[in-house]
């Protein structure tokens, strides 16, 4: 009923509506592990009737991080900061396109946020998502840019070391963000998005 009323307002006035809503309350108010964070930032975590996630056209999910977990992700900068200072966020619902990668924000003055880069132990997750986004960007570019190899795609795209590239590719494949695929005329496996269609260079 509420979603129907919102859709009527949009149709009548040609406006956008920003709806603030509590999503899945994992572990109380804070995420204290990768599993809790991923669960809270998935589209399925949106609480309430199924009409709600079906109604929204674009959904940004956010979850505050516990202090110890934040230090693992952000590094030394998070030491001594109160729980909830850092927030994980993700655009988990888009009518056009796939969900976006997880990113991290820090509460600053006047209730604002600033984006921060993960540098701790969980930067492997960020690397995997960054690599997946680069594979997707290359596939959608015109003219299409060269495929990235499974073995050292991160090295070719971002100048990472071989071990970092390998870990990022393995994590991306493990999470279902990428697939390793053999293409005729190309040596070794290349990285492709799971939903991407075969394209020729």
Q: What is the mean pLDDT of residues 24-48?
A: 75
Q: What is the mean pLDDT of residues 154-163?
A: 85
Fold of 123-192: Arc Repressor Mutant, subunit A (1.10.10)
pLDDT of 49 above 60: no
pLDDT of 143 above 80: yes
Q: What is the mean pLDDT of residues 119-142?
A: 83
Residues 6+ apart with CB under 8 A from 129: 101, 102, 172, 177
Domain extent listing, the chain: 2-116, 123-192
The Cα 183–Cα 190 span in angstroms is 7
The Cα 180–Cα 187 span in angstroms is 12
What pLDDT does 104 receive?
94
Q: What is the mean pLDDT of residues 67-78?
A: 85
Kind plus residue range of the DSSP H or E element containing 106: strand 103-107
The Cα 53–Cα 3 span in angstroms is 10
What pLDDT does 195 receive?
67
The Cα 92–Cα 60 span in angstroms is 6
Q: What is the mean pLDDT of residues 166-185?
A: 90
CB 64 within 8 A of CB 83: yes
pLDDT of 138 above 80: yes
Q: How far from the centroid of its chain's Cα atoms is residue 77's Cα?
A: 22
Q: How far from the centroid of its chain's Cα atoms is residue 144's Cα?
A: 23
**Percentage of the residues of the chain whose pLDDT score is greater than 90:** 30
């Amino acid at each position: 009923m509420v979603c129907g009323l919102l859709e009527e307002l949009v149709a009548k006035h040609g406006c956008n509506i920003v709806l603030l809503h509590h999503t899945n309350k994992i572990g109380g108010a804070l995420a204290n592990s990768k599993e809790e964070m991923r669960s809270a930032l998935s589209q399925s975590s949106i609480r309430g009737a199924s009409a709600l996630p079906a109604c929204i056209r674009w959904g940004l999910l956010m979850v505050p991080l516990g202090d110890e977990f934040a230090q693992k992700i952000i590094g030394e900068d998070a030491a001594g900061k109160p729980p909830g200072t850092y927030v994980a966020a993700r655009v988990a619902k888009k009518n056009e396109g796939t969900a976006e990668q997880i990113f991290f924000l820090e509460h600053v003055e006047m209730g604002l946020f600033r984006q921060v880069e993960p540098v701790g132990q969980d930067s492997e997750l960020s690397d995997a998502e960054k690599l997946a986004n680069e594979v997707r960007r290359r596939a959608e570019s015109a003219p299409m840019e060269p495929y990235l190899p499974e073995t050292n795609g991160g090295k070719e795209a971002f100048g990472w070391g071989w071990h970092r590239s390998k870990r990022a590719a393995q994590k991306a494949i493990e999470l279902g963000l990428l697939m390793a695929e053999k293409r005729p005329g190309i040596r070794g496996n290349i990285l492709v998005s799971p939903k991407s269609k075969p394209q020729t260079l």
